[in-house]
Amino acid sequence: MQFFENYKSEILASIILLILLIIIRIIAKTLIKKIGHKAGINDARTHLITRYATVTLVLIWILVETMIFGAQLKELALIFSSVFAVIGIALFAIWSILSNITSGIIMFFNFPYKVGDKILIHDKDFPIEAIIEDIAAFQLHLRLDNGDLVTYPNNLILQKPVTLLKKDAIDLPQDDGTDAL
Protein backbone atom coordinates (compact mmCIF):
# COMPACT_ATOMS: atom_id res chain seq x y z
CA MET A 1 0.00 0.00 0.00
CA GLN A 2 2.94 2.31 0.68
CA PHE A 3 4.03 1.90 -2.96
CA PHE A 4 0.73 3.32 -4.24
CA GLU A 5 0.96 6.27 -1.85
CA ASN A 6 4.53 7.10 -2.86
CA TYR A 7 3.94 6.79 -6.62
CA LYS A 8 0.33 8.01 -6.91
CA SER A 9 1.06 10.67 -9.57
CA GLU A 10 3.32 8.35 -11.57
CA ILE A 11 0.71 5.58 -11.56
CA LEU A 12 -1.98 8.04 -12.67
CA ALA A 13 0.27 9.33 -15.48
CA SER A 14 1.00 5.72 -16.50
CA ILE A 15 -2.69 4.89 -16.68
CA ILE A 16 -3.38 8.00 -18.77
CA LEU A 17 -0.46 7.15 -21.07
CA LEU A 18 -1.68 3.57 -21.47
CA ILE A 19 -5.23 4.71 -22.32
CA LEU A 20 -3.85 7.25 -24.80
CA LEU A 21 -1.66 4.66 -26.52
CA ILE A 22 -4.55 2.16 -26.67
CA ILE A 23 -6.68 4.82 -28.38
CA ILE A 24 -3.84 5.62 -30.80
CA ARG A 25 -3.44 1.89 -31.53
CA ILE A 26 -7.15 1.50 -32.26
CA ILE A 27 -7.06 4.52 -34.59
CA ALA A 28 -3.89 3.28 -36.32
CA LYS A 29 -5.32 -0.23 -36.71
CA THR A 30 -8.53 1.18 -38.19
CA LEU A 31 -6.63 3.41 -40.61
CA ILE A 32 -4.33 0.59 -41.70
CA LYS A 33 -7.33 -1.68 -42.30
CA LYS A 34 -9.09 1.03 -44.31
CA ILE A 35 -5.99 1.69 -46.41
CA GLY A 36 -5.52 -2.05 -46.94
CA HIS A 37 -9.17 -2.58 -47.88
CA LYS A 38 -9.24 0.45 -50.20
CA ALA A 39 -6.05 -0.71 -51.95
CA GLY A 40 -7.26 -4.32 -52.19
CA ILE A 41 -4.45 -5.68 -50.03
CA ASN A 42 -4.98 -9.10 -48.47
CA ASP A 43 -5.71 -9.40 -44.76
CA ALA A 44 -2.43 -11.14 -43.88
CA ARG A 45 -0.37 -8.15 -45.04
CA THR A 46 -2.70 -5.73 -43.29
CA HIS A 47 -2.33 -7.74 -40.07
CA LEU A 48 1.47 -7.70 -40.43
CA ILE A 49 1.61 -3.90 -40.79
CA THR A 50 -0.74 -3.58 -37.80
CA ARG A 51 1.68 -5.71 -35.77
CA TYR A 52 4.59 -3.44 -36.76
CA ALA A 53 2.59 -0.40 -35.62
CA THR A 54 1.77 -2.10 -32.30
CA VAL A 55 5.43 -2.95 -31.64
CA THR A 56 6.37 0.67 -32.36
CA LEU A 57 3.75 1.92 -29.90
CA VAL A 58 4.97 -0.51 -27.22
CA LEU A 59 8.54 0.77 -27.64
CA ILE A 60 7.29 4.36 -27.34
CA TRP A 61 5.31 3.37 -24.23
CA ILE A 62 8.41 1.85 -22.61
CA LEU A 63 10.43 4.98 -23.33
CA VAL A 64 7.83 7.39 -21.94
CA GLU A 65 7.08 5.11 -18.99
CA THR A 66 10.72 5.17 -17.87
CA MET A 67 10.67 8.94 -18.03
CA ILE A 68 7.46 9.08 -15.96
CA PHE A 69 9.11 7.07 -13.20
CA GLY A 70 12.06 9.45 -13.05
CA ALA A 71 14.72 8.24 -15.44
CA GLN A 72 16.78 11.16 -16.65
CA LEU A 73 17.29 11.79 -20.35
CA LYS A 74 21.06 11.44 -19.85
CA GLU A 75 20.62 7.97 -18.33
CA LEU A 76 18.21 6.91 -21.08
CA ALA A 77 20.63 8.14 -23.74
CA LEU A 78 23.39 5.99 -22.25
CA ILE A 79 21.17 2.91 -22.05
CA PHE A 80 19.72 3.34 -25.54
CA SER A 81 23.07 4.08 -27.14
CA SER A 82 24.49 0.91 -25.57
CA VAL A 83 21.49 -1.18 -26.58
CA PHE A 84 21.44 0.25 -30.11
CA ALA A 85 25.17 -0.35 -30.49
CA VAL A 86 24.72 -4.03 -29.62
CA ILE A 87 21.60 -4.30 -31.78
CA GLY A 88 23.32 -2.44 -34.62
CA ILE A 89 26.23 -4.87 -34.62
CA ALA A 90 23.85 -7.83 -34.50
CA LEU A 91 21.60 -6.42 -37.20
CA PHE A 92 24.47 -5.58 -39.50
CA ALA A 93 24.76 -9.30 -40.08
CA ILE A 94 21.09 -9.50 -41.06
CA TRP A 95 20.67 -6.17 -42.86
CA SER A 96 18.98 -7.84 -45.82
CA ILE A 97 16.19 -9.10 -43.58
CA LEU A 98 15.59 -5.58 -42.29
CA SER A 99 15.74 -4.28 -45.84
CA ASN A 100 13.08 -6.78 -46.90
CA ILE A 101 10.84 -5.92 -43.94
CA THR A 102 11.16 -2.21 -44.67
CA SER A 103 10.42 -2.88 -48.34
CA GLY A 104 7.38 -4.90 -47.30
CA ILE A 105 6.06 -1.93 -45.30
CA ILE A 106 6.69 0.42 -48.25
CA MET A 107 4.98 -2.05 -50.59
CA PHE A 108 1.93 -2.16 -48.30
CA PHE A 109 1.30 1.54 -48.74
CA ASN A 110 2.64 2.10 -52.26
CA PHE A 111 2.82 -0.91 -54.56
CA PRO A 112 0.84 -0.81 -57.79
CA TYR A 113 0.59 -4.60 -58.20
CA LYS A 114 -1.65 -6.95 -56.28
CA VAL A 115 -2.03 -10.66 -55.73
CA GLY A 116 -3.24 -12.19 -58.98
CA ASP A 117 -1.49 -9.73 -61.33
CA LYS A 118 0.85 -11.06 -64.01
CA ILE A 119 4.10 -9.08 -64.04
CA LEU A 120 7.41 -9.02 -65.85
CA ILE A 121 10.49 -8.20 -63.76
CA HIS A 122 13.17 -6.70 -66.00
CA ASP A 123 16.31 -8.28 -64.62
CA LYS A 124 19.09 -8.57 -67.20
CA ASP A 125 20.43 -11.78 -65.66
CA PHE A 126 17.15 -13.48 -64.81
CA PRO A 127 13.99 -11.84 -66.20
CA ILE A 128 10.85 -13.21 -64.59
CA GLU A 129 7.37 -13.33 -66.07
CA ALA A 130 4.99 -14.64 -63.43
CA ILE A 131 1.76 -14.22 -61.52
CA ILE A 132 1.93 -12.77 -57.99
CA GLU A 133 0.59 -15.46 -55.65
CA ASP A 134 1.39 -13.78 -52.34
CA ILE A 135 3.12 -10.70 -50.98
CA ALA A 136 4.73 -11.71 -47.70
CA ALA A 137 6.81 -9.79 -45.17
CA PHE A 138 10.13 -10.77 -46.77
CA GLN A 139 9.38 -11.76 -50.36
CA LEU A 140 6.92 -12.08 -53.20
CA HIS A 141 5.70 -15.53 -54.18
CA LEU A 142 5.63 -15.67 -57.97
CA ARG A 143 4.15 -18.53 -59.99
CA LEU A 144 5.84 -19.09 -63.35
CA ASP A 145 3.92 -20.29 -66.42
CA ASN A 146 5.47 -23.76 -66.03
CA GLY A 147 4.07 -23.99 -62.47
CA ASP A 148 7.33 -23.35 -60.59
CA LEU A 149 7.19 -21.12 -57.53
CA VAL A 150 9.79 -18.34 -57.28
CA THR A 151 10.31 -16.31 -54.13
CA TYR A 152 11.59 -12.85 -54.95
CA PRO A 153 12.93 -10.57 -52.17
CA ASN A 154 10.89 -7.45 -51.45
CA ASN A 155 13.93 -5.16 -51.55
CA LEU A 156 14.80 -6.32 -55.09
CA ILE A 157 11.29 -5.82 -56.46
CA LEU A 158 11.55 -2.15 -55.47
CA GLN A 159 14.91 -1.83 -57.25
CA LYS A 160 13.95 -3.46 -60.58
CA PRO A 161 11.65 -2.15 -63.30
CA VAL A 162 8.40 -4.10 -63.38
CA THR A 163 5.77 -4.22 -66.11
CA LEU A 164 2.16 -5.15 -65.46
CA LEU A 165 1.21 -7.68 -68.13
CA LYS A 166 -2.29 -8.61 -67.00
CA LYS A 167 -4.43 -7.50 -64.08
CA ASP A 168 -5.99 -10.34 -62.03
CA ALA A 169 -4.40 -13.09 -64.13
CA ILE A 170 -5.28 -15.86 -61.67
CA ASP A 171 -8.31 -17.81 -62.82
CA LEU A 172 -10.14 -18.73 -59.66
CA PRO A 173 -12.31 -21.84 -59.81
CA GLN A 174 -15.97 -20.99 -60.26
CA ASP A 175 -18.53 -22.52 -57.91
CA ASP A 176 -21.17 -24.19 -60.05
CA GLY A 177 -23.17 -25.35 -57.04
CA THR A 178 -22.55 -29.06 -57.70
CA ASP A 179 -20.31 -29.67 -54.69
CA ALA A 180 -21.51 -32.56 -52.60
CA LEU A 181 -21.59 -32.14 -48.86
- What is the domain range of residue 37? 2-93
The confidence score (pLDDT) of residue 79 equals 78
The confidence score (pLDDT) of residue 91 equals 66
pTM over 0.75: no
Name residue 163's beta-bridge partners. Answer: 120
Q: Is residue 69 part of a domain?
A: yes
Q: Is residue 129 part of a domain?
A: yes
pLDDT of 136 > 50? The answer is yes
Q: Which of 93, 122, 156 is the last residue of a domain?
A: 93
Q: What is the spatial order of strands in the sheet that 128-135 belongs to?
A: 149-153, 139-144, 128-135, 118-121, 162-166
Q: Which of 61, 93, 125 is the last residue of a domain?
A: 93
Distance from C-alpha of 132 to C-alpha of 41, rounded to nearest angstrom: 12
Distance from C-alpha of 89 to C-alpha of 76, rounded to nearest angstrom: 20
> What whole-number percentage of the chain has pLDDT above 70?
91
The confidence score (pLDDT) of residue 15 equals 92
Distance from C-alpha of 109 to C-alpha of 169, rounded to nearest angstrom: 22
| Residues 128, 64 share a domain | no
Count of domains for the chain? 2
pLDDT of 67 > 60? The answer is yes
Across the range 106-135, mean pLDDT stands at 87
